[in-house]
Amino acid sequence: MPDTKILVTGACGQIGTLLSTTLQERYGFDNVIASDIRSSATFSCIYEQLDVTDANKLFYLISKYQITQIYHLAAILSAKGEANPIFTWNINMNGLLNVLEAAKNYKLEKVFYPSTIAVFGNQTPRVGTPQWPNLTPETVYGISKVAGENWCNYYFQKFDVDVRSLRYPGIISWDTLPGGGTTDYAVEIFHEAIKRQSYTSYIAEHTALPMMYMPDAIRATLELMDTAKENVKVRTSYNVGAMTFNPAELSEEIKKHIPDFVIEYEPDFRQEIAASWPESINDTDARTDWGWKESYGLADMCQDIIHNLTQNNNQ
C-alpha cells in the first residue's frame, strides 16, 4: 500500500482551509497538497494553483505528488451560483468529472465529494428529510450536486472508484468565512454581533435550516473516510444532521452572551432558496452505517464561537 498522499481542491474555502490543516496534522507536511484557483495562499502544507476544470493540470499534480486520495471541495455555492448558472455548472460538474476520471485512471484509493442540503427542493418533505426522497432542487448548485452524487455512484458501481460523500448542512465556523452560500448568515451574524451588536438577516425570522459546527463537519468527513469500504453503503451521498434553528432562535442564543444584540430582517432572493431546503434531516443511515453522532448543539456552539471571536478581537 503506498503512503497516503492527499490533494485537497478548493482548499482556500471555508471547509477546505480547516480540512487541509487537519489532514496535514494527521498525515504530515509532505503528504497533503492544498490547491485552489488562487495563484498563491498561505498554508502549513504544500500549496499548488489548480483550476479544477483543467484536467491536464490535475493529472500532472497527481503524478507529481503520487496522490492517493482527493478531497474535492472546489465548487460554486447556492447564492453565488444563481448569478451565473452555466459557469457554475461548468465548475461544479466538469471539476468533478475530471476528479472521477483521475481516480479511475490513476487507481486512487479514495475520493471525498461534498454534497449538500441544496439537493432537496420544494417536492421534498421539509421536516426529518429522508435519505432517499424526490430530489428536484431549485438552484443550479443543487442541480449540479444531485448530478454529482449520481456520477459518484456511477463511478463506484462501474469502475469501483471508492468515492464517499456527505450532504453537508449549513456549516458554521468562526475562523474561516463562507462565500456565496445561503446559510452564510449564520456565520456573519456572529462577526456583526461582536463588532456592532446588530445584524440584518437576509433570511426570514422563522425559516429554520439544518446546521453543523465546523469541528463536527471535519470529524464527520474524516470518520466517513476512515470507515471500512464495505460499510459505506450509501454511494450517492449521506444525509448528516447536527442541529436546526431559525434566525430568531440563533439571535436569542447570541443575546445570552451579548445582551444588547438586536436583529432585523430584510429577506432577499436567498430567502426563497432557504425556504426550499429542509428544516431538519433524517440521518439514520449515517448513524447506522458508520456511527455518526454530532458533538455540538446550538448553545455550546454559540458559546464556543463567541468565546473564540472575543478572544481574537482582544489580541
Which residues are part of the catalytic machinery?
Answer: 141
Report which DSSP code applies to 129: B
Residue 168 interacts with ligand AKB (CB under 6 A): yes or no: yes
Residue 110's alpha-carbon distances to 48, 70, 228, 231, 314, in angstroms, are 20, 7, 11, 14, 42
Q: How far is the CB of 145 from ligand AKB (least distance, A)?
A: 8
Give the one residue of 10, 16, 181, 241 binding ligand AKB; rule: CB under 6 A: 181
User: Of the listed pieces 104-112, 177-185, 214-222, 234-242, which binds ligand AKB according to CB under 6 A?
Assistant: 177-185
Q: Write down the least CB distance from residue 116 to ligand AKB, Å.
A: 3
Count the site residues for ligand AKB by CB under 6 A: 11
**Options 52, 73, 96, 118; binder of ligand AKB; rule CB under 6 A:** 118
* DSSP-derived 3-state class of residue 138: coil
Burial of 280 (0-12, 13-18, 19+ CB in 10 A): middle
Site of grid cell 440521518: 283
CB closer to ligand AKB, 141 vs 296 = 141
Distance CA 173, CA 170 (A): 10
State how far the Cα of 12 lies from the Cα of 156, in Å rounded to an integer: 28
78 in contact with ligand AKB (CB under 6 A)? yes
CA–chain centroid gap for 293, Å, is 17
Residue whose CB is nearest to ligand AKB in the complex, by number:
181
Q: By CB under 6 A, tell whether 116 contacts ligand AKB.
A: yes
Binding site for ligand AKB (CB under 6 A): 77-78, 116-118, 141, 168, 170, 181-183
